[in-house]
């Protein structure tokens, strides 16, 4: 079995996009930075996102049944770092609007997907969430933020 540090180092060679997954429960917004995100199917339009089982955002999505995936733009590294933190007030000072399902949509992003939770699968320390996309926006003029070799880059 590979050493965990060697595995992490090898995975770091593969660039990934950076997203903030959000939801709202009882008027309180939740959000977390994630790089485990991909499209799943075109018909119906679905996405896959992975969250730690200990994530407060995962617990909130489980209760709300909806979430948004905000694909960060290259100039949003500070937003990625903020939502990766344990800061209890992540949304203070971050421009956002409610989506059609109520999940916060961050402004200035490269793309946004609003999803209904269509399925889940637990695997060790993480939950895999399947989201049925009900609404989306995309700004092709915005370059996406990337994570590669342990660094955020645009």
Please state the domain extents for the chain: 18-147
| Global confidence as pTM | 0.95
As a whole number, mean pLDDT of residues 85-103 equals 95
- Whether the per-residue pLDDT at 69 is higher than 90: the answer is yes
Q: Strand, coil or helix: what is 14?
A: coil
Over residues 4-45, the pLDDT tens digits come to 899 888 988 898 999 999 999 999 999 999 999 999 999 999
What is the rounded CA–CA span in Å between residue 152 and residue 54?
A: 24
Note the pLDDT of residue 2: 84
Residue 138's Cβ-side half-sphere holds a number of Cα atoms within 13 Å equal to 3
Note the pLDDT of residue 55: 95
Q: What percent of the chain has pLDDT over 90?
A: 86
Note the pLDDT of residue 53: 95
* pLDDT band per the 50, 70, 90 thresholds, residue 150: confident
- Whether the per-residue pLDDT at 154 is higher than 80: the answer is no
Note the pLDDT of residue 86: 92
Contact 80, 90 (CB under 8 A): no
CATH architecture of structural domain 18-147: Roll (2.30)
Number of other residues whose CB lies within 10 A of the CB of residue 16: 16
* pLDDT band per the 50, 70, 90 thresholds, residue 153: confident
CB crowding 69-84: b at 16 or more within 10 Å, else e: bbbbbeebbebbebbb
């Amino acid at each position: 079995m590979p050493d965990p540090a060697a595995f992490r180092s090898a995975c770091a060679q593969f660039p990934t996009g950076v997203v903030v997954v959000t939801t709202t429960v009882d008027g309180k917004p939740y959000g977390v930075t994630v790089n485990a995100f991909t499209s799943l199917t075109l018909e119906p339009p679905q996405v896959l996102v992975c969250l730690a089982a200990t994530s407060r955002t995962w617990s909130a999505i489980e209760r709300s049944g909806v979430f948004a995936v905000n694909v960060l733009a290259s100039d949003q590294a500070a937003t990625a770092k903020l939502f990766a933190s344990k800061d209890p007030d992540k949304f203070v000072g971050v421009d956002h609007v409610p989506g059609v399902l109520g999940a916060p949509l961050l402004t200035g992003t490269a793309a946004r997907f609003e999803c209904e939770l269509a399925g889940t699968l637990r695997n060790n320390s993480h939950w895999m969430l399947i989201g049925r996309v009900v609404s989306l926006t995309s700004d092709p003029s915005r370059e996406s933020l990337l994570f590669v070799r342990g660094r955020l880059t645009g």
